[in-house]
Amino acid sequence: MTDNAVGLIPAPRRIRTRPDRTGARLDPSLTALAAGPGTEGVARLLRATLGQALALSLPDGEPGARDTITLRTDPALKPEGYRLTVAGRRVEVVGGAAAGVLWGVQTLRQLLGPEAFRRAPVKSADTTWAIAEQTVEDAPRFAWRGLMLDVARHFMPKDGVFAYIDLLAAHKLNVLHLHLTDDQGWRIEIRRYPRLTGTGGWRERTKLGHRASPLWDERPHGGYYTQDDIREIVAYAAERHITVVPEIDIPGHAQAAIAAYPELGNADVIDTASLGVWTTWGINPNVLSPTDTTLRFFENVLEEVLELFPGTFVHLGGDECPKEQWKASPAAQERIRALGLADEDALQSWFIRHFGRWLGERGRRLIGWDEILDGGAGSADGGLAPGSAVASWRGYAGGLAAARAGHDVVICPEQQVYFDHRQDPGTDEPVPIGYVRTLEDVYRFDPVPPDFTASEAERVLGAQANVWTEVLEDRRRVDYQTFPRLAAFAEVVWSPLPPPSTRDFAEFNGRMEAHYARLDALGVSYRPPAGPRPWQRRPGVLGRPLEGSPPIV
Ligand code: ACM
């Protein structure tokens, strides 16, 4: 990897470079851009990023000419693969499809130094930009390279979402999973049910820190994306070859919906009309009732979701659904009897299977957290509708079970890639939650552990880092938890790495020096290697560290 002198992250598959020879020089007065068929969108982005940052006007040029950046596709390459050649005063980026061309352009951007990540030039207008002679050949290891943002617990206004889409693209990540609904807020406009956002889109106050903390932020918190906001986000992501996967979490994590429409809750057990949007954290007993009313309501919600999100997968949550209310509910018990089900877990399985089939009939696929397998353990298909996929978060076991039952898997274990978890054992980590997972730990994360057989491994679509936001109140806190670890994650899911135990973290960490400069240029409030800056700390706000700490109950 010594050829990777500029510190490319994620590391490419192959790079041959002649650092002693300038292969090309980008020159504001000279350099042109030739975009072949199908690469016009990438050319637009290149002008908007590199062009703005380096004061290059990039007029249209002739393909393959000197002092020209040529973009083209070649179906002989994999769709997301690319070859970048810098030689003889020419730059050429060839991708299997437009996505590959875009990833190649991201590599070109890194070759140009941190200034290429700014929004406007910081050097004089006649500065030229030398790139060493080289060839980079590259393609991703996994098709699903994702980040989940929990925009429900703390709403992220759309400018932050656009910034994250840009950050994903800069790291060659291609899935943005938006956790849009939870007990503490409903964040997507549904025309048919305006109270979902009118009532469910905000809460009166917010627990500050872990739920055992005595502190409250007494300010109301809220916000939601209108349907046009969602269209804008989806289109912005699509230009960057990123798929947005929406999550509507059912049948648990649904108190905001019940607060808006009390008939969705177990009204024969509790007074659902008295529920508000939840103001604290934890696993909530107030879950949806498994009635026809609820099924029809969420079918109607999903009709609108499908109009907005063109991607194949729709995430329906399915995690952490306590069964106490269903045990106490005559309506739920009658449903169990009528369907001939074994118990409440089987009822949840039936509920999820209903929507898995419903999505399948519309050409889409359900994905859910690994609890969606819990009630179907006795059946060969795990109780899931055909085509359903599982996001394995409670370790790898759910992923393995799903793969064995013939389902695709996205690996995202909380023990490894939950970025709300603290990244250092030090006492000045802000609101420390969960396990200590350092940059090195993430670099050693393996989406496909050795106990997966080859055919089980084929079921692994990829991996995803998840950022839950109970204690991340704004974009800067999200940045702090997400970076620099997302850079290590990007390399894990993109690059052909050796087994975790033999990975050269020191070499990666050396490249991070260049990457911190890129993140600085991008304005990311990452955690510095030496620890949080004073304003990144949250003294006195209780977290919930795991591993060896006394439990907080
Ligand atoms: C989850 O962390 N409850 C998926």
How many angstroms does the Cα of residue 369 sit away from the middle of ligand 1? 7
pLDDT (mean) for 251-275: 98
The answer to whether residues 386 and 248 belong to one domain is: yes
Query: Which residues are bridge partners to 91 per DSSP?
Result: 69, 86
The answer to whether residues 475 and 526 belong to one domain is: yes
The answer to whether residues 285 and 308 belong to one domain is: yes
Among candidate residues 410, 359, 412, 356, the one with its CA nearest the CA of residue 381: 356
| 319 within ligand 1 shell (Cβ under 6 A) | yes
Residue 176 has pLDDT above 70, yes or no: yes
- C-alpha span between 233 and 222 (Å, rounded): 19
Range of the domain at 299: 144-536
Per the domain annotation, does 229 fall within a domain?
A: yes
pLDDT (mean) for 479-496: 98
The answer to whether residues 104 and 186 belong to one domain is: no
Residue 154 has pLDDT above 60, yes or no: yes
pLDDT (mean) for 242-250: 99
- H-run or E-run covering 460: strand 460-467
Q: Which of the following is catalytic: 92, 115, 150, 182?
A: 182
What token pair was written down for 24?
């090309």
Q: Is 211 helix (H, G, I), strand (E, B) or coil?
A: coil
| 415 within ligand 1 shell (Cβ under 6 A) | no
Q: Encode burial over 189-223: b for 16+ CB neighbours within 10 A, e otherwise.
A: bbeebeebbebbbbbeebbbbbeebeeeeeeebbe
| 281 within ligand 1 shell (Cβ under 6 A) | no
- C-alpha span between 274 and 289 (Å, rounded): 16
pLDDT (mean) for 397-418: 97
- C-alpha span between 550 and 267 (Å, rounded): 38
What token pair was written down for 470?
């109970």
The count of other CB atoms within 10 Å of the CB of residue 536 is 18
The answer to whether residues 420 and 521 belong to one domain is: yes
Residue 2 has pLDDT above 80, yes or no: no
Evaluate whether 411 touches 463 at the Cβ level (below 8 Å): yes
The answer to whether residues 79 and 165 belong to one domain is: no
Q: Which of the following is catalytic: 171, 253, 315, 421?
A: 253
pLDDT (mean) for 407-428: 96
Cβ neighbours for 553, distance < 8 A, ≥ 6 positions apart: 212
Question: pLDDT digit string (tens) for 301-340?
Answer: 999 999 999 999 999 999 999 999 999 999 999 999 999 9
Angle of CA points 70, 75, 76, to nearest 5° = 100
Among candidate residues 50, 108, 109, 98, the one with its CA nearest the CA of residue 74: 98
The answer to whether residues 107 and 157 belong to one domain is: no
Give pLDDT, residue 373. Answer: 97
Instruction: Please give the tally of structural domains in the chain.
Output: 2
pLDDT (mean) for 168-173: 98
End residue of a domain, out of 77, 104, 138 = 138
DSSP letter, residue 172: T
pLDDT band with cut points at 50, 70 and 90 for residue 378:
confident
The answer to whether residues 210 and 84 belong to one domain is: no
Residue 548 has pLDDT above 90, yes or no: no
Which residue has a Cα nearest atom 2 of ligand 1?
A: 393
Distance between alpha carbon 83 and the CA centroid of its chain, in Å?
A: 26
Domain of 100, CATH number, reads: 3.30.379.10
pLDDT band with cut points at 50, 70 and 90 for residue 551:
low
The answer to whether residues 303 and 395 belong to one domain is: yes
How many angstroms does the Cα of residue 246 sit away from the middle of ligand 1? 15
Q: Which atom of ligand 1 is nearest to the CA of 317?
A: 4
Give pLDDT, residue 121. Answer: 97
Question: pLDDT digit string (tens) for 28-37?
Answer: 999 999 999 9
Residue 1 has pLDDT above 70, yes or no: no
How many angstroms does the Cα of residue 488 sit away from the middle of ligand 1? 22
The answer to whether residues 459 and 348 belong to one domain is: yes
Question: pLDDT digit string (tens) for 181-192?
Answer: 999 999 999 999
Distance between alpha carbon 417 and the CA centroid of its chain, in Å?
A: 11
Per the domain annotation, does 387 fall within a domain?
A: yes
Cis previous bond, 10, omega within 30: yes
pLDDT band with cut points at 50, 70 and 90 for residue 286:
very high
72: left (phi over 0), alpha (psi -120 to 50) or beta: beta
Q: Average per-residue pLDDT in the chain?
A: 97
Question: pLDDT digit string (tens) for 39-70?
Answer: 999 999 999 999 999 999 999 999 999 999 99
pLDDT band with cut points at 50, 70 and 90 for residue 4:
confident
Query: What does the chain come to in residues?
Result: 553
The answer to whether residues 84 and 205 belong to one domain is: no
End residue of a domain, out of 138, 164, 182 = 138
Q: Which atom of ligand 1 is nearest to the CA of 418?
A: 2
Per the domain annotation, does 8 fall within a domain?
A: no
How many angstroms does the Cα of residue 391 sit away from the middle of ligand 1? 9
253 is catalytic: yes
The answer to whether residues 126 and 206 belong to one domain is: no
Q: Is 22 helix (H, G, I), strand (E, B) or coil?
A: strand
Question: pLDDT digit string (tens) for 201-212?
Answer: 999 999 999 999
Question: pLDDT digit string (tens) for 72-131?
Answer: 999 999 999 999 999 999 999 999 999 999 999 999 999 999 999 999 999 998 999 999
